[in-house]
Amino acid sequence: QCGFCTPGIVMSLFTLHSQQQQRPAPLTPERLEAALGGNLCRCTGYRPIRDAALSMQESSWKAPQWIDASQPAHTPLTAPQSAEANTDLFAQPTTLSQLTELRRHYPSARLVAGATDLWLENTQRLALLNQLIDVTRVDELRHIEEAI
């Protein structure tokens, strides 16, 4: 559906499949649940994912020898903090003052934090999401202070 969960689920299932190849054991619902723990899918639901994972037991595919699942394939990439084209905008401010300035320049931009549900508007309703400000990196919004 939206694809947000795909990388995490694919890598979790790849790791599970690799472990199955090294130490063959029946794939139980409990092992599958543990392997997929922490992956969130809000579109498809877990039944089709579970069914596909359980079908791995019947597969004879083996990972090539050059794949070492215990080592990272590359250095993680750092995402840019903003991208702008014509009137489109995606920004990730890191301070409240940057966020305030962005809101002043783009008053109709949507504020997002994660936005896994928002992408359904794009895939299901074909809505354009052309101005987004991601607030997850704004330091002042990452803390809770108790007032006296």
pLDDT of the residue at 138: 93
Q: What is the dihedral of CA 57, 60, 61, 67, to 10 degrees?
A: 80
pLDDT digit string (tens) for 87-142? 788 899 999 999 999 999 999 999 998 777 776 776 777 777 788 899 999 999 98
52 and 19 both lie in a single domain: yes
Total count of domains within the chain = 2
CA-CA distance, 92 to 114, in Å (whole number)?
12
Q: What is the pTM of this model?
A: 0.46
Which range in 5-19, 50-64, 67-81, 102-116 is most confidently predicted, on average pLDDT? 102-116
Cβ-count burial 45-82 (b if 16+ within 10 Å, e if not): eeeebeeebeeeeeeeeeeeeeeeeeeeeeeeeeeeee
CATH number at residue 86: 3.30.43.10
Residue 69 lies in a domain: no
pLDDT digit string (tens) for 68-83? 655 555 565 565 565 5
52 and 86 both lie in a single domain: no
Q: Which domain holds residue 134?
A: 82-141
